[in-house]
């Protein structure tokens, strides 16, 4: 078997204290395998524009965490959710109510 990284994708709904605790837990559990620094350091040939992508083999047996978060009180997020059109299910429900 070839060595391959583990990629974790998290959706974060924690406050500041919860986020700090989440980081502590990941560091405790994942230890040295947790990818905590850039794979490619600035100034290296890889960042000269010739090859901007990191290959999975560059990650080795590391664990990379991708976090999606929504900041409470983020005005942009609130405006975005209000401006989104209703889903198909919501539209069907509204149409059914109107038909009654």
Per the domain annotation, does 50 fall within a domain? yes
Q: Are 76 and 19 in contact (CB under 8 A)?
A: no
Per the domain annotation, does 59 fall within a domain? yes
b/e string for 11-20 if b means 16 or more Cβ within 10 A? eeeeeeeeee
Per the domain annotation, does 87 fall within a domain? no
- pLDDT the model gives residue 43: 59
Per the domain annotation, does 62 fall within a domain? yes
Domain interval for residue 66:
6-72
Residue 62, number of CB atoms within 10 A of its CB? 20
15's tokens: 């406050």
- pLDDT the model gives residue 81: 44
Per the domain annotation, does 90 fall within a domain? no
pLDDT tens, N- to C-terminus, the chain (100 residues) = 788 899 999 888 888 899 899 999 999 999 999 988 877 776 555 555 665 677 888 888 999 988 887 766 655 544 444 444 444 445 455 544 444 4
Per the domain annotation, does 48 fall within a domain? yes
- pLDDT the model gives residue 21: 93
94's tokens: 């509204």
- In this prediction the pTM is 0.54
Total number of domains constituting the chain: 1
Q: Are 14 and 22 in contact (CB under 8 A)?
A: yes
Per the domain annotation, does 95 fall within a domain? no
Per the domain annotation, does 96 fall within a domain? no
């Amino acid at each position: 078997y070839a060595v391959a990284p583990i990629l974790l994708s998290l959706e974060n709904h924690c406050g500041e204290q919860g986020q700090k605790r989440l980081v502590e837990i990941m560091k405790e559990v994942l230890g040295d395998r947790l990818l905590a620094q850039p794979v490619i350091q600035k100034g290296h040939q890889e960042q000269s524009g010739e090859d901007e992508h990191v290959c999975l083999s560059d990650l080795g047996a590391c664990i990379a965490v991708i976090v999606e978060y929504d900041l409470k009180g983020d005005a942009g997020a609130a405006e975005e959710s209000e401006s989104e059109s209703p889903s198909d299910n919501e539209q069907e429900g509204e149409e059914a109510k109107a038909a009654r």
